[in-house]
Structure 1
């Protein structure tokens, strides 16, 4: 009898705790959907400041603006963390055409890849060889590549429902294509935009020359998916066509910038830190609304929602708006280095860097005991259809915090439209849905609340 009473008591305690958690989470969602502020903040970031390329004036304006917002929220502490960041500038708009015969040309949309060198002042014109990814270079060999422009035309796989799997399977041609093609004597590279649909928006993104000597570096540009289809079809009809492109980008010395940080101090375990964040920098073609203005305002909104619902955290909850995720990861690396230097104990970190679309759940990088705890919370998120909890990756900026104990997590929005916008002029505020953005912020705040309540295993 005593054993049965104990079982009933434990069940009653669990039910009471779950009811308390559901009530708090309901209040978070209600507050986000009726008085959310993230959409207003994003409107300013996108339409008043615009694209926030690392090291730019716009990036500094974003630092000043978000710090001002955090200062106004009544947090326990707000500060700027210095970060030295690379400065790459695009210069005058790029120009390219396909030349089928002398004087017979078709213009195609291109954009320089981030970190690329410029073409010579008069541009580059040469024959073209098409390959389906970096592995295709070895098949052709130096004899067929030397003096040519390499056209990397490996497309994203449309059969993956998780479109990030398609992205990761062919992003190496963008990142390392120029360095690899230069080894075979290529004079430039053109890379198919990482986009699942056919349109006229070229998509930029970071590239690296690795240890290629400066004098041997060749210019690299992305071509729109429509442009890639046209170039490929034209090559099949006439392998002897020429391609011309001109770009004026430049790499300048590193400059000073900042991570923007704010926190609410924990009442019971102040030395245990929970981080939520996104990256403040963006590419310059659009205004960076989905990548990653959305993640930044959602992360700021997490702290505001907890305060607005009257919740006093047990542990320290910190928002970090990281600088330079796109072309260097200096912000995330600096934050982790300073955390280690200060002997800070981070137990949980959550990142939003997959767009402001409808949230579906979270991915977790953690041990099995912590994942089991997370799975026990699924019922709390099911009313909001945010209950896809999977073990997997987390986020680039929180990655440097990884150790044997911390739980890393990433918000998983629906990804079907993300690569329509990613790194292109199509990443604008007009494509952000207010309600979807608010649901994402509420989901993040709810997960932060649960980890604050129950800690890690």
Structure 2
């Protein structure tokens, strides 16, 4: 009888331990998740300052280009907000980078030995040469994917490649490459220059880095509008040897930039050494205000921090709220964060990273390719849905690159971003001269703050975070399973050789 009772007790304890690995079980006197989520909901819906802070920053700062005076002012703006909200432990995390800024660029198109030369409106991509003056025949690489270059690989050397920055007439489900990866393919195949055609109607010009490493590339890369790209292609039909002439002048020099880090110390004796990082890049390109990319994410992170302080929320684990700089020029701020954490030994403490980059109107949670997180995220999502029926509660599981989460994934650290949505008319202004505050929807931005704050609180207070840091070779397997190897190879970030 005694043994039977012991067996039942052991079984009951095992069930409790298994459940606690996914869902936090409050200690005596500890507030329930449902209660905290209700308070977060009420606080954000009544008092969120994310929208107003972003609007003020867009009005008073303008763009937030890393290395510029505007960029420095943006760092100070974020720092002062964290301090205002009660984060005594707020600091600048400085790093030195090669800062790039555009000066002038021209593109002329015309047949050889002809006076019929046309000036085409153009913008230079970042990390292109300080000085460039080239002319050469244009060769069309379509969407600029591996298969497109395979068709023309014997004809690229010494020519200027024309390719789409997005995908046009693509196969169903076809995956695009980043503009920097397409540029790398062009350089590998011997091109002397690149002309990207935007895929958005309305004479929209787009910028962004053309470098996979964050360093200057060897050839000029520029972007023209969709309409100009179509005109050039039509001209190529009748003039196969059509020439392009690109002249550009840019500025590149070493500067100091700063991530801004605000820390909420963990309070559980066994878990406070573990760290959750939630960040979004504060920097933007200089063609507009950078309201969507990434005012949405960075100012949501700051308002999530405000919400925690306003409600007096405690965390078992330490939380770092980070406004990264230098993301647009090659994930420079998050790389600097990682390198510093390696030197101090703090990187081993980071158990999870939440990245908000153009994250808007959150409707679900993404486990970031880690199956171990699915149950935790489902449990948290169900609780959010129970207290706020507007929450979509869509749980997905896929990893992505080309934002600050990549720096953490490469170290084997679980990282992801909540599921959000932007309307096509807003996405069309990505990296473009129309990315202004008028595109921002107040309620949708508040949804990002509200639901991400709930996710953060749940993750930071779960009894046992289920996804562990991957070792070197498990990280390799992770990227292969997520179909991200080719992108990392093109970005010179593949660390595992050719096996």
TM-score exceeds 0.5: yes
Aligned positions of 1:31-430 closer than 5 A: 31-92=43-104, 94-99=105-110, 102-104=114-116, 106-118=118-130, 120=132, 123-132=133-142, 133=144, 135=146, 136-142=148-154, 144-153=155-164, 155-156=166-167, 169-171=176-178, 174-182=179-187, 186-193=191-198, 195=199, 197-208=200-211, 217-252=218-253, 254-268=254-268, 269-344=271-346, 345-355=349-359, 357-365=360-368, 367-382=370-385, 383-393=389-399, 396-402=403-409, 406-417=413-424, 419-430=427-438
More moved, 200-209 vs 256-265: 200-209
* CA apart distance, 1:426: 1.8
Distance 1:19 1:384 in 2: 23
* CA apart distance, 1:154: 6.5
Q: Cα–Cα, structure 1 residues 141 and 448, in superposed 2: closer, same or farther, change >3 Å?
A: closer
Q: 5+ unaligned residues in a row in structure 1: which ranges? A: none
* CA apart distance, 1:278: 0.4
Name the one with the larger strand percent: 1
- Aligned counterpart, 1:25: 37
Q: Cα–Cα, structure 1 residues 160 and 48, in superposed 2: closer, same or farther, change >3 Å?
A: farther
More moved, 445-454 vs 324-333: 324-333
Q: Is the 8 A contact 2:24 2:461 kept in 1?
A: no
Q: Cα–Cα, structure 1 residues 313 and 212, in superposed 2: closer, same or farther, change >3 Å?
A: closer
Distance 1:180 1:118 in 2: 21
Distance 2:95 2:24 in 1: 47
More moved, 231-240 vs 151-160: 151-160
Q: Is the 8 A contact 2:128 2:216 kept in 1?
A: no
Distance 1:330 1:376 in 2: 35
Q: Is the 8 A contact 1:90 1:249 kept in 2?
A: yes
Q: Deviations 1:112-170 (Å, cap 9, x if unpaired)? A: 111111564xx54443211122544453345x445432212364268899xxx87x623
Tell me the SS of whatever aligns to 1:47.
Answer: helix
- Aligned counterpart, 2:489: none
Q: Is the 8 A contact 2:24 2:462 kept in 1?
A: no
Q: Cα–Cα, structure 1 residues 212 and 294, in superposed 2: closer, same or farther, change >3 Å?
A: closer
* CA apart distance, 1:69: 0.9
Q: Cα–Cα, structure 1 residues 439 and 113, in superposed 2: closer, same or farther, change >3 Å?
A: same
What root-mean-square deviation, in Å, do the aligned CA atoms of Structure 1 and Structure 2 show? 3.6
Q: 5+ unaligned residues in a row in structure 2: which ranges? A: 467-499
Tell me the SS of whatever aligns to 1:248.
Answer: strand
Q: Is the 8 A contact 1:366 1:406 kept in 2?
A: no
Q: Is the 8 A contact 2:275 2:318 kept in 1?
A: yes
Q: TM-score, length-normalised on structure 1?
A: 0.84
Q: Cα–Cα, structure 1 residues 409 and 391, in superposed 2: closer, same or farther, change >3 Å?
A: same
Distance 1:212 1:147 in 2: 22
* CA apart distance, 1:366: 6.1
* CA apart distance, 1:61: 0.9
Q: Deviations 1:42-88 (Å, cap 9, x if unpaired)? A: 12332211222222211111111111111111124111111112211
* CA apart distance, 1:400: 3.1
- Aligned counterpart, 2:483: none
